[in-house]
Homo-oligomer: A and B are copies of this chain.
Amino acid sequence: MKPVVVLVPQPQPVERIFRPEALAALREEFEVVEPEGDAGLDEALGGAWAVVGQPDLPSERLALAPHLRAVLNVEGNFYPNVDYPTCFTRSIRVLGCGPAYAQAVAEHALGLALDLARGISREDRAFREGRERYLGEGNADAVLLRHADVGLVGYGNLGRALRPLLAPFAPTLRAYDPWLPDAVLREADVLPASLDEVLSRSTFVFVLATVTADSQHLLGPRELDLLPEGARLVLVSRAAVTDYDALAERVGAGRFLAASDVWPTEPVPADSPFRSLEGVVLSAHRAGGIPAAFREIGDMVLDDLRLLARGLAPVRMQQAAPELVGRYRNRPAG
């Protein structure tokens, strides 16, 4: 008898996260149930060995699933709609697909940083308007990433994915992450630093932190004022970490340049000042959700279900940490 997998990936469409071969393999190797509505889910849980998706799983509902061994989140964030303590007590694996996005975000972040370093999108716009500047003329503020001072705010999945991409630039790399001991950073050949030090000493700053009660507006007016004149700030994790009003003001005044993939309100209001700022690169929450990342989610799910079915430990998805799972303050992205 094949283990029963309850597949409720919404809002992720099944075909977005599973390549056809992955879906076929899933159906071949597992008994896949795709229930409709809450009642359908409740019923399906009776025989469920694993849930793939992020449905509400309060204690009453978990009680309906006596055989449940794993919950595999395919959206990317752990929300407070699951009774995590019960899962841990029952040794139900709670897994997240966050790492699937990390490479995509890291490459996008590097692309944004190089854009800011060299004015790529700004000068492309100028070119289209017939006011391009040749050779050194448009390069007065162009800088190298090579041997630059680079700061990372947060060193989790995203920081770890970005770090190797920065290696050939041989930066002086500082990171601030209050959840990590210094040794973890030193092992990655990154200098541990305070937030103030990261901000005040870096030409390039990548904001890669997740949102918790503690990190709301971690970058407020005071912190943004620590950035060196002409710094390049890349925001690719969560908007709530940064005070965007203070950001718009400073970029508008030419204090530094910024690129942002996340926004306090999405869609961004039509009259947002950011839409017309020259010193910014605008990106519409596009860093992580690319086809290759979505397909990676399905592959991770299949790989880890297979390991669990063999009695082995999952290795591709991220395990929810009992200590952390209640701290996140992320909102659904879509």
The answer to whether A323 touches B316 (Cβ under 8 A) is no
Stretch from A31-39, A102-110, A250-258 that touches the partner: A102-110
Alpha-carbon separation in the docked complex, A120 to B286 (Å): 9
Question: Are B111 and A107 in contact (CB-based, < 8 A)?
Answer: no
Q: Does A143 contact B (CB under 8 A)?
A: yes
Q: A270-B130, A276-B128 are in contact. Are A107 and B284 (CB under 8 A)?
A: no
Contact present for A282 and B123 (CB under 8 Å): yes
A40 sits at the interface (CB 8 A):
no
A127 pairs with B312, CB closer than 8 A: no
Evaluate contact between B284 and A132: CB separation under 8 angstroms.
yes
- Asked if A333 contacts B135 (CB within 8 A), the reply is yes
A275-290 toward B: CB 8 Å interface, digit per residue (1/0)? Answer: 1100001111110011
Is A285 a contact of B134 with CB atoms below 8 Å?
yes
- 8 A Cβ contacts from A270-325 to B: 270, 275-276, 281-286, 289-292, 294, 299-300, 303, 306-308, 311-313, 315-316, 319, 321-324
Among A132, A164, A189, the most chain B Cβ lie within 10 Å of the Cβ of: A132
Give Cα A127 to B179, complex, Å.
35
Q: Does A235 contact B (CB under 8 A)?
A: no
Chain B residues with Cβ below 8 Å from A300 are 183
Q: Determine if A139 is an interface residue (Cβ-Cβ < 8 Å).
A: yes
> Is A1 in contact with chain B by the CB < 8 A criterion?
no
Of the listed stretches A45-53, A166-174, A215-223, name the one at the interface; the rest are far from the partner chain.
Answer: A166-174
Q: Is the CB of A142 within 8 A of B286?
A: yes
A200 at the binding interface (Cβ < 8 Å): no
Interface residue? A112 (CB, 8 A): yes
Contact A165 B170 (CB under 8 A): no
A14, CB-defined interface residue at 8 Å: no
When A120-B112, A308-B323, A312-B323 are in contact, do A132 and B290 touch as well, CB less than 8 Å? Answer: no
The residue on B at minimum CB distance from A319 is B319
Assess whether A81 is interfacial by the CB under 8 Å rule: no
Q: List 8 A-B contacts (CB under 8 A).
A: A107-B114, A121-B121, A121-B125, A124-B281, A127-B275, A132-B284, A147-B186, A313-B321
8 closest Cβ pairs, A-B complex: A111-B114, A313-B321, A121-B121, A127-B282, A181-B303, A142-B290, A132-B284, A164-B168
